[in-house]
A = this chain, B = another copy of it.
Amino acid sequence: MPTRTAAHRRAEASAAYDAYLAECPARQLLDRIADKWVSLAVTALADGPRRYSDLQRTLASISQKMLTQTLRHLERDGLVTRTVTPAVPVRVTYELTPLGRSLLPVMAAIKGWAEAHMDEVRAARDTYDDAED
């Protein structure tokens, strides 16, 4: 009989990665996904595949450099797929993978929180700034 029970193994598995630790890969991954453009790009793909130019219109004022960079990272990390349709002109569409879909609720939540609590944050800032001594 093993000295490590199923509960032990579960606890160990859930602690396999710890973003609090600097050297942990999860810390870097957190840094990647905790990003404004990632949040907007992933949520923009919620309803299905979309074209590059379509995404660029939706994520207002994003530069093509940042959009391409963000999409490349998401593609490399297995969160989106990139599909090129050879036509004239070429047509490129991006779509969430199942892994990307698992991140979608989280990204939608953070974007939603910002939109939902903007007024409260504004009020807090006014109070804070008025209290300058």
Q: Chain B residues with Cβ under 8 A from A66's Cβ?
A: none
Copies in the complex: 2
Residues of A participating in the B interface, judged by any CB pair closer than 8 Å: 14, 16-22, 25-27, 29-31, 33-36, 38-40, 44, 58-61, 75-79, 99, 102-103, 105-106, 109-111, 113-118, 120-125, 127-129
State whether B110 touches A26 (Cβ < 8 A): no
Q: Kindly state the separation between the CA atoms of A58 and B21 in the bound complex, as whole angstroms.
A: 8
| Chain B residue, CB-CB nearest to A27 | B36
Q: Chain B residues with Cβ under 8 A from A19's Cβ?
A: 39-40, 111, 114-115
State whether B33 touches A20 (Cβ < 8 A): no
A4 to chain B: closest CB distance in Å? 20
